[in-house]
Amino acid sequence: MKSDDTLLLPILEWPHPILRSPAQPIERFDQALTDRIEQMWHIMYHAPGIGLAAPQIADPRRLFVMDCGGRVSDPRPLVCANPNIIRAEGELDSTEGCLSFPELSVVVPRAASITLRAQDELGTWFVIELEGLEAVCAQHEIDHLEGRSFLDLLEPLERSATLHSYIEGLRGSNTVTSQETISRAEPLLAEYLMLALK
C-alpha cells in the first residue's frame, strides 16, 4: 500500500495549459488506471473537495471522480471515464468553488438534472440520472475535461471582473505557484477585457 505522501500530487491552478485543453479518451482499463483512480480519491478527499478531474493533476485523460458525501442524504462515490451528458433539463444558479481556483467562488447557470453516460474503472458502460448538487458537480468536472472552467459560463464583463479579483487575491501569496498562475492569467485578463468592451 502506498503512503499518503506518495498518493498526493499538486492540483494545477487555472489557467495552466493542461486545464485549457480537451482531455483525451481513455482506451486502457488496467491496473495503472485503477491506481490513478485511487490516487484521485485520496487527493480529492484530502483537498477537501467533492469532485476531481484527471487534468487537474496533470493527467490529460477523460476521467473524473466525485462524491457529494456530507452534502446530500445518500452519498455515492462515482468514477466516470469517457463521460458524456446525454440529457440535460431545467436550470439553476449554482454557487461553485473549484480546487483549481483557490479561494474563488462563482455563481453560474447549470442544468438542474442530467443523464450521464460513462465507463466505470473496469471499462463497463453505465447510464446514471443525477440531480441537484450531483448534477452540478458532474457538469463542473466535465467542463474540466473539455478544457473549460466555470469562468467560461459568465458574461464577458462579469468574467473579466471575476478574473481580476482572482488575480488580485493571488497577489497576497508569495509562492512560486501563485506567481506562475498570475503570469498565465494576466494575458487572459487582457483578452477578456477586450471581448467585454466590444
Q: Active-site residue numbers?
A: 141
> What are φ and ψ of residue 20, in 5° steps?
-110, 15
d(CA 183, CA 40): 27
71's CB contacts (< 8 A; 6+ apart) are: 50, 133
121's CB contacts (< 8 A; 6+ apart) are: 29, 33, 34, 37, 79, 81
Per residue in 50-72, is it b (16+ CB within 10 Å) or e — as a string? Answer: bbbbbbbbebbbbbbbbbbeeee
